[in-house]
Amino acid sequence: MNTLTSEAGSKKIMLIEDNCLTLNQIGDFLRAQGYQVIPCQHCEEAVTLLNEVTPDLIILDIIMPDLDGYEFCGWIRAHPRLKMVPVVFLTARDRTEDKITGFKIGGDDYITKPFSMEELLARIEVILQRMDNFHELSMRDELTNAFNRRYFKERLHEEIHRVKRTGRPFSVILLDIDYFKRINDQHGHYVGDYVLIQFVSFLRNHLRRTDLVARLGGEEFVLLLPDTSSEKAFLMAERLRKSLGEATFQYNENGIIKNIRFTVSAGISCCPEHGEDAEGLLALADRALYSAKSSGRNTVKIATGT
């Protein structure tokens, strides 16, 4: 049974094979399992397509008419955007030294012809599951399970490109827990960690599914809100601020309940209203956050200027 069937439809597999019969057979089989297949008969064709799309996995023949499969794998591994895409060699070369060369050049698996479609599928599933697990770990904050700074910046650049294509705005909200040091000093760092975890849970419960929550570090968080103007972002931040101000979080310390309450300050910037530069948008939101904290905290401010 295909254990990844429910997720296969979102996975793109590039298949580079100069034999039309093999190309069609594998392509038809993988499509039947729910995968999106990008067929290529030549490496040159694959290069052109890879300028437009990032596949989840590449199946690559070694003996190709225009470029040796080993060389092409080396090109993939040298490409910043593609270097983490897994490559499965599928070839008639079955010598041990060929396999060693394939792994050394950056291949993730090596399958020799003739082969079983079921075995190919099983190997693909194992690799994709491993990549999913790795990606999930690499983009999450270990304590709160919010997205981390690196993943947020990737998504921020993607949103900027989307705005340039569609014209639809997005907003960034920087959030800082007010007087967080006092919480640590009065109750200890375990309670401080509890507050950070509960704050992320609170945000997720009050945001749309399309909104992103990331931890930038310490007690500072950021929200990425697609299709949201600065005015709508302000209303959303105000609702969050007021709801948080009315909430009480109970920390159980050896049977003793501690009632923890805290507030948050926020700064907002919007693309394209405040510009289309990632660092500039963050700097403006940070300036607005500083203004909110300078105004007495527990306040929301929208960026001014560009």
Which of 159, 219, 273, 279 is labelled catalytic? 219
Contacts of 164 (CB under 8 A, 6+ apart): 276
Kindly give the pairing relationship between strand 249-253 and strand 256-260. Answer: antiparallel
Establish how many alpha carbons lie within 13 A of residue 285's alpha carbon, considering only the half-sphere containing its beta carbon. 30
For residues 219 and 196, the answer to whether their CB atoms sit within 8 Å is yes
Report yes or no: 147 and 215 within 8 Å, Cβ to Cβ.
yes
Q: Is 219 a catalytic residue?
A: yes
d(CA 230, CA 236): 10
The tokens for 60 are 């690559």
Catalytic sites, residue numbers:
219
